[in-house]
Structure 1
Amino acid sequence: MKIDTPKIPEDLTERRFTDIFYEEDPEFEMCMITDSEFANEVLERVRLYKTVIKNCNFTNTDFSRIDLTDVRFENCDLSNTNLGNASMNRVEFLNCKLLGSSLTESYIGNTRFRKSILNMVAFGNSKLEKVIFDEAALESADLFNCKLKKVEFLSCNLNGASFEGTPLKGIDISSSDFDSLVVSIENLKGCMVSTSQAIKFASLLGLNIRQ
């Protein structure tokens, strides 16, 4: 699946993330932000455009209603961060940690999570469109009542993930691993699975498969 990648110019202004407190509006555009410490802060309705963020720590920060367009995060820690009601388009998370973060009631489009940790992330009531989870860890992630359109899980760890109330029609999870998954049978219709996964689902139904 092809998704739109962030459109980021080469000529970026170097900033520290704490500089955002001195802006008239909490926004950065065409910036390179490296090695910033921004943990345990509250900053709602942040707007980031055409910006690269590397090696930064945002743990336990409230970024609710954040607006991200053409942004790339590299080697950042966003664990336990509140990103609820976010709007994302053309965003990449590369080698990032979002352990226990909230992305509920968000729109996430043209976004790639590559080699990132999203264990226990809450995506509840969000719309994900053209999203690729690429070698991502999604253990015990909660995708309750989400709308998934053109979403791929490539070689991910989905163990214990919950898709309750989320239809998986047209979604391919065949290359990903899990021992258990929370999903209803009606929402599994049209989901693409591997042979071994099909056997796991069949055993959950109580079928006794003979080989």
Structure 2
Amino acid sequence: MKIDTPKIPEDLTERRFTDIFYEEDPEFEMCMVTDSEFANEALDRVRLYKTVIRNCNFTNTDFNRIDLTDVVFKNCDLSNADLGNASMNRVEFLNCKLLGSNLTESYIGNTRFRESILNMVTFGNSKLEKVIFDDAALESADLFDCKLKKVEFLSCNLNGASFEETPLKGIDISSSDFDSLTVSIENLKGCIVSTSQAIQFALLLGLKIRQY
């Protein structure tokens, strides 16, 4: 699946993330932010546009209603950050940590999570459209009542993930691993799985499989 990638200009202004407090509105445009410490902060309606953020720490920070367009996060820690009600388009998270982060009631489009840790992330009531999880850890992630459209899970760890109330029709999880998954039978219809996963689901349903 092809998704639109972030459109990042070559000439970026170097900034520290704390500089955002001195802006008239909490927004950065065409910036390069590196090695910034911004943990345990609170900033409502942040807007980042055509910006690259590298090696930054945003643990426990409240970014409620954050607006991201054409943004790349690389080697960043957003563990336990509040990104609820976010709007994302053309965003990449590369080798990032979002352990236990809140992404509920968000719109996430044309976004790639590559080699990132999203264990225990909550996506409840969000719409994900053209999203690729690439070699990502989503252990015990909660995708309750989400709308998934053109979403791929490539070589991910989905163990213990919950897709309650979320239809998986057309969603390919065949290259991903899990021992257990929370999903109802009606929402599993049309999901693309591997042969071994099909056997796993059959066993979870209580079917007894006879080998010939």
TM-score past 0.5 threshold:
yes
Secondary structure at the counterpart of residue 83 of structure 1: coil
C-alpha distance in 1 between matches for 2:153 and 2:44: 30
Q: What CA deviation, in whole Å up to 9, does each residue of 1:55-94 have, x standing for no partner?
A: 0000000000000000000000000000000000000000
Other-structure match for 1:90: 90
**Residues 78-111 of structure 1: CA deviation (Å, up to 9, x unaligned):** 0000000000000000000000000000000000
1: CA distance between counterparts of 2:75 and 2:206?
A: 43
C-alpha distance in structure 2 between counterparts of 1:198 and 1:158, whole Å = 15
User: 1:152-181 CA distances to partner (integer Å, 9 max, x unpaired)?
Assistant: 000000000000000000000000000000
Query: How far apart are residue 26 of structure 1 and its match?
Result: 0.1
Instruction: Report the alpha carbon displacement of residue 18 of structure 1 after superposing the two structures with TM.
Output: 0.1
For residue 51 of structure 2, give the secondary structure of its aligned residue in structure 1.
Answer: strand
For residues 120 and 210 of structure 2, the distance between their equivalents in structure 1, rounded to whole angstroms, comes to 35
Secondary structure of residue in 1 paired with 2:25: coil
**For each residue in 1:109-145, what CA deviation from the matched residue of structure 2 results, as whole angstroms up to 9, or x when unmatched?**
0000000000000000000000000000000000000
TM-score, with structure 2 as normaliser: 0.99
1:113 maps to 113
- 5 Å-filtered alignment, 1:1-211, equals 1-211=1-211
- State the secondary structure of the residue aligned to 1:190: coil
Shift of 1:148: 0.0
Corresponding residue SS for 2:18: helix
1:27 CA drift (Å): 0.0
Q: 1: distance between equivalents of 2:44 and 2:95?
A: 24
Offset of 1:210 from its aligned partner?
Answer: 1.2
| SS of equivalent residue, structure 1 residue 203 | helix
Give the drift of 1:43.
Answer: 0.2
Q: For structure 1, which runs of at least 5 residues remain unmatched after alignment?
A: none
Q: How many residues align?
A: 211
What secondary structure, in the 3-state scheme, does the structure 2 residue paired with 1:70 have?
strand
Could you tell me how far apart the structure 2 residues matched to 1:42 and 1:48 are?
15
Task: Please give the per-residue CA displacement for 1:175-199, whole angstroms capped at 9, x wherever unaligned.
Answer: 0000000000000000000000000
Q: Distance in 2 between matches of 1:103 and 1:7?
A: 23
SS at match of 2:113: strand
Q: Deviations over 1:2-58 (max 9, x none)?
A: 000000001000000000000000000000000000000000100000000000000
**Matches of 1:37 and 1:7 in 2, distance apart?**
25
Tell me the distance in 2 between the aligned counterparts of 1:32 and 1:157.
31
Residue 81 of structure 1 aligns to a residue whose secondary structure is: coil
Q: Secondary structure at the match of 2:20?
A: helix
Matched position secondary structure for 2:14: strand
Question: What CA distance in whole angstroms lies between the structure 1 residues aligned with 2:79 and 2:143?
Answer: 17
Runs ≥4 in structure 1, deviation > 3 angstroms?
none
Q: Which runs of 5+ in 2 are unaligned?
A: none
